[in-house]
């Protein structure tokens, strides 16, 4: 561990490598976390199957790539398919738990996560897969830093997708309806908004965003049926750290998590990468707890 730290100090250029990798992967985390915050904020459902939606989107790209379609062209296909899938899941399951207590939504989506992970395991096998995009690798700083072009492209795609979603939420009628429902579902209903449709659309949109994030992850990293839970935890970490309805916060926390994972993976060893994610979740909750305790004392 200390060797690796001193290595970082001696060769500062390695920091650039780690930082870039962290930002590129962090962008996809931010995307999935934004979807989770959306569903959480609008319909008060904590979707524990979030990561499995991401992985499913990745498998769409992998399967299409297997049939000769380039993953970047597979992206819109995955978005459309995942939108439909999200709508179906809403009609089947989520619509029945949307008004229920918090624990119901947690458990039901956990059950969904198990079904999806195992379903993917049966359908695609448990091998680690990746969608080969076939781009070159750029080298910088005299060969010390390598950046796969595909990572750069995925970063740009993530930014474009985020921009599209933001503009959609601000400008379109449906976006306005979603925000109105998030503020006060009852008032929105009185104003003639079909909140059930809004919920269905929100969940389908989340599923589509996850699908897009999954395609990007399948291009720049690996997917496997059981990686879903880690992605769910990542989204939870980001949303818990950033808070709801805080888009800049989600982006910063997403990129920050990407950085934290890369650095801990490098300095402590690859086996700590998973531990970092769950460890951060616990730390953030402890930090919330300390902040609230201080608040409570102030009230007394």
Q: Which is closer to another protein, CB of 141 or CB of 287?
A: 287
Q: Which is closer to another protein, CB of 15 or CB of 95?
A: 95
Q: Report the chain's C-alpha Rg in angstroms.
A: 20
- Is residue 58 classed exposed, middle or buried when 0-12, 13-18 and 19+ CB atoms within 10 A define those classes? buried
Smallest distance from another protein to CB 118, Å? 4
Q: Which residues of 202-221 are buried (b: 16+ CB within 10 A; e: fewer)?
A: bbbbbbbbbbbbbbbbbbbb
> Furthest-apart CA pair in the chain: how many Å?
65
Q: Which is closer to another protein, CB of 43 or CB of 157?
A: 43
Q: Which is closer to another protein, CB of 114 or CB of 174?
A: 114
DSSP 3-state assignment of 136?
coil
CA distance 129 to 213: 15
In DSSP terms, 297 is beta-bridged to: none
The residues, ordered by sequence, that sit 6+ positions from 212 with a Cβ below 8 Å of its Cβ are 31, 57, 75, 78, 79, 82, 157, 161
Smallest distance from another protein to CB 106, Å? 5
Smallest distance from another protein to CB 265, Å? 12
Question: For residue 123, how many other CB atoms are within 10 A of its CB?
Answer: 11
CA distance 272 to 268: 6
Residue ranges that bind another protein, judged by CB under 8 A: 46, 93, 96-97, 102-104, 106-108, 110-119, 121-122, 229, 233, 236, 240, 268-269, 271-272, 274-275, 278-279, 281-282, 285-286, 288-289, 292-293
Smallest distance from another protein to CB 203, Å? 15
Q: Which is closer to another protein, CB of 172 or CB of 292?
A: 292
Smallest distance from another protein to CB 280, Å? 9
Smallest distance from another protein to CB 263, Å? 16
Q: Which is closer to another protein, CB of 109 or CB of 130?
A: 109
């Amino acid at each position: 561990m200390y060797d690796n730290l001193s290595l970082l100090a001696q060769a500062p250029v390695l920091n650039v490598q780690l930082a870039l990798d962290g930002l590129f992967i962090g962008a996809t985390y931010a995307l999935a976390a934004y979807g989770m915050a959306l569903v959480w904020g609008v319909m008060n459902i904590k979707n524990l199957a979030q990561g499995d939606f991401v992985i499913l989107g990745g498998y769409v790209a992998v399967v299409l790539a297997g049939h000769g379609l380039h993953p970047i062209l597979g992206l819109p296909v995955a978005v459309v398919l995942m939108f439909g899938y999200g709508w179906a899941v809403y009609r089947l399951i989520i619509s029945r738990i949307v008004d229920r207590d918090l624990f119901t939504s947690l458990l039901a989506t956990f059950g969904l996560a198990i079904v999806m992970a195992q379903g993917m395991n049966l359908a695609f096998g448990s091998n680690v897969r990746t969608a080969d995009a076939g781009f070159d690798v750029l080298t910088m700083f005299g060969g010390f830093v390598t950046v796969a072009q595909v990572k750069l492209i995925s970063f740009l795609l993530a930014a474009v997708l985020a921009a599209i979603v933001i503009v959609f939420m601000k400008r379109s009628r449906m976006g306005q309806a979603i925000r109105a429902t998030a503020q006060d579902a009852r008032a929105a209903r009185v104003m003639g908004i079909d909140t059930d449709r809004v919920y269905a659309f929100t969940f389908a949109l989340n599923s589509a965003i996850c699908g897009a994030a999954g395609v990007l992850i399948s291009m720049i990293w690996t997917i496997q049926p059981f990686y879903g839970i880690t992605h769910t935890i990542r989204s939870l970490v980001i949303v818990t750290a950033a808070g709801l309805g805080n888009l800049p916060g989600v982006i910063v926390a997403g990129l920050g998590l990407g950085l934290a994972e890369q650095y801990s993976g490098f300095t402590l060893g690859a086996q700590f990468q998973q531990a970092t994610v769950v460890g951060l979740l616990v730390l953030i909750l402890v930090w919330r707890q300390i902040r609230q305790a201080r608040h409570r004392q102030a009230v007394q």
